[in-house]
Amino acid sequence: MEDEARCFLRRFVEEVQIGPDDPLPVSPLSRARVSQDELPGESLELGLRLLSARDAPQALSSLLCQAALSELLKSDLSPFRCTQENESGEEEEHGVLLSSESIQRFFLNKVKEVAVAWQRDLPAFPAGASQPPSYAVHAIRNVRRKMEDKHVAVAEFNQLFGFQDGVDRRYYAVFDGHGGVDAATYAATHLHVALSKQETLHSDVATAFKAAFSHVDEMFRGKAKRERLRSGSTGVAAFLQDQCLSVAWLGDSQAMLVRRGRAVTLMEPHKPEREDEKQRIEDLGGCVTFMGCWRVNGTYAVSRAIGDFDQKPYVSGDADCATVQLSGDEDYVLLACDGFFDMVKPAEVPQLVLEALREPGDLDGAAAPKATSADAVAQKLVQHARAAGSSDNITVMVVFLRSPEQLAQDIAKKAPAEAAQASDSQSKSGKE
């Protein structure tokens, strides 16, 4: 790990130039202005994207970005403030706004400064930093005109946010945008950052998750107003903290757990036709009507989401959360948007995964590289949903709680026993 890190740092420092007249090597999410509340999330996203494009080791990327952000937030940011206000007093309403390109150039130079310093004196990597993340994701636009799904995996949660208490933490999420991709992009950028800042994260993940969702929804309200955005996004996020799994969600994106090859229900999606959701909306003075599908006030087909401010509070920004204590016999957690779950029943998933692990390989056509067993699982699930008739964007993320290799070995051991049992049953049937 250390040799790989030193090699990358040397190459990165030599190749990357971020002078005042150089174009930024990656584009900021906010092209004009960014609020101080948005700065950590957008900076981390930008830095990770830059380092990933240059094949940096993932643990090193997280540590570099965390160190650079820490230096950025210690700095005097007043030179980057936007002084021009619009007629409605925008700066007062949304807090201090900063020039996005200028401050992100400043941040990327902080990344390079840290890289230069670490070339000379590489810090010790935390225990477990070299362990590869065990997840697979596959996403397709399908027949839709635009791709409005976003996903994020932060297997190096501790390194990215500076936790050093020895507790293992990992975060995974899928967001399904509608009316544009802005809300999904925003949630994918900021939700894990907001979660990391919650004081209750150590003791009560459910409370922390709900507060983080609400905070990001309110943050997006400010961006949507100043940039005249109208999109919304459902979302589902999973947080692993030692042997505890917490799943939080808004809308109809879903997560499921598979234990010993059997599907375990973790949640119920928020849909307008759900009796308690329908009652909540009607108590607020809204209505749920059928227009090809059940819709809130004749508009959105989900009853909870980030954004959709024209239909708040009927479309609620309040997330739900479920927590499960893991016992060690769990196989994986699957997160996916409704483009998958509208066509695939949870009970079908374990068998599809078994088939993919038995026959890993090229699932995307002859021109695609051969898939690993982990990749094959996500691809198999997406292709099955598409073949079943899904025309929506489809994103599937599989977070393995046991390695795909171990699962495949278990399947291989079970197969002969299952075959022998079937043969024995047939033999007995013949004798009868």
pLDDT by residue, tens only, the chain of 432 residues: 788 899 999 999 999 888 888 889 999 999 889 999 999 999 999 999 999 999 999 889 999 999 999 999 999 999 999 875 544 455 445 578 999 999 999 999 999 999 999 998 988 876 655 455 589 999 999 999 999 999 999 999 999 999 988 899 999 999 999 999 999 999 999 999 999 999 999 999 999 999 999 999 999 999 999 999 999 999 999 999 989 999 999 999 999 999 999 999 999 999 999 999 999 999 999 999 999 899 999 999 999 999 999 999 999 999 999 999 999 899 999 999 999 999 999 999 999 999 998 875 544 444 444 556 788 899 999 999 999 999 999 999 999 998 888 887 777 776 555 545 544 555 555 555
What is the C-alpha separation between 252 and 214, in angstroms, rounded?
Answer: 17
Q: Which residues of 23-60 are buried (b: 16+ CB within 10 A; e: fewer)?
A: eeebebbbeebbbbbbbbbbbbbbbbbbbeeeebbbbb
Could you say which DSSP state residue 239 is in? E
E strand or H helix at 241: strand 232-241
* 430 to 417, 421, 422: CA distances (angstroms): 20, 14, 12
Enumerate domains of the chain plus CATH numbers. Answer: 2-120 (no CATH), 143-343 (3.60.40.10)
Claim: this prediction has a pTM higher than 0.85: yes
Query: Cα–chain-centroid distance for residue 137?
Result: 10
Rounded to 10°, the helix 58-74/100-120 angle is 120
What pLDDT score does 130 carry? 47
Parallel/antiparallel/unpaired status of strands 232-241 and 169-178? antiparallel
What pLDDT score does 430 carry? 54
What is the C-alpha separation between 58 and 48, in angstroms, rounded?
Answer: 9
Amino acid at 224: A
Quick one: CA torsion of 376, 325, 264, 315, rounded to 10 degrees?
-90
What is the C-alpha separation between 268 and 282, in angstroms, rounded?
Answer: 20
Q: Strand, coil or helix: what is 153?
A: strand
Could you say which DSSP state residue 310 is in? G
Say which residues have a Cβ less than 8 Å from residue 220's Cβ, sequence separation at least 6. 183, 186, 187, 306, 307
* 239 to 106, 209, 270, 396: CA distances (angstroms): 31, 9, 20, 16
